[in-house]
């Protein structure tokens, strides 16, 4: 049990709730504020387990009574020293067979 907890703490994989419009325009849910941030993936947006993220996404979808095909999706990301890398792809709501990874703007490191 203790080894499993330690392995979970060291695992850099996290999960985020995303509502994707296009590769360059995605909304990421920030549970600390209770809002969706536009193209801003903050560390407060990360969930440690997929089950938690899916439960929150289910509640949000019910609360918002979403009627469009642009459903909330839970995707896996990996925290790296240079930023965040997407591990899962997002489903395109216009073309159900098409999948893609979102693009984040890189922050300027010279400032």
- Whether 3 and 11 have beta carbons less than 8 Å apart is answered as no
Residue 49 covered by a domain:
yes
Domain that holds residue 26: 10-97
Which residues fall within 8 angstroms of residue 76, CB to CB, at 6 or more apart? Answer: 13, 14, 15, 50, 86, 87, 88
Cα(26)–Cα(29) distance, integer angstroms: 10
Helix, strand, coil percent values for the chain (each to nearest 5): 25, 35, 40
pLDDT above 60: residue 111: no
Residue 109 covered by a domain:
no
User: Between these two residues, 54 and 104, which has the higher pLDDT value?
Assistant: 54
Residue 48 covered by a domain:
yes
CA angle 62, 91, 88 (to 5 degrees): 100
Residue 108 covered by a domain:
no
pLDDT recorded at residue 69: 46
pLDDT digits (tens, 9 = 90+) for 12-25: 889 999 988 888 88
pTM of the model: 0.80
For residue 55, the SS3 value is: helix
Question: How many structural domains is the chain composed of?
Answer: 1
pLDDT digits (tens, 9 = 90+) for 27-85: 999 998 889 998 888 889 999 889 999 999 988 888 765 555 457 899 999 988 888 88
């Amino acid at each position: 049990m203790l080894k499993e907890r330690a392995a979970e703490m060291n695992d850099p994989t996290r999960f985020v709730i995303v509502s994707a419009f296009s590769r360059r325009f995605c909304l990421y849910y920030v549970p600390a504020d209770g809002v969706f941030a536009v193209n801003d993936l903050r560390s407060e947006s990360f969930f440690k387990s997929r089950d938690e993220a899916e439960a929150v996404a289910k509640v949000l979808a019910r609360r918002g009574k979403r009627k469009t095909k642009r459903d909330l999706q839970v995707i896996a990301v990996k925290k790296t020293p240079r930023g965040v890398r997407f591990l899962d792809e997002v489903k395109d709501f216009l073309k159900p067979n098409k999948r893609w990874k979102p693009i984040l703007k890189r922050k300027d490191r010279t400032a």
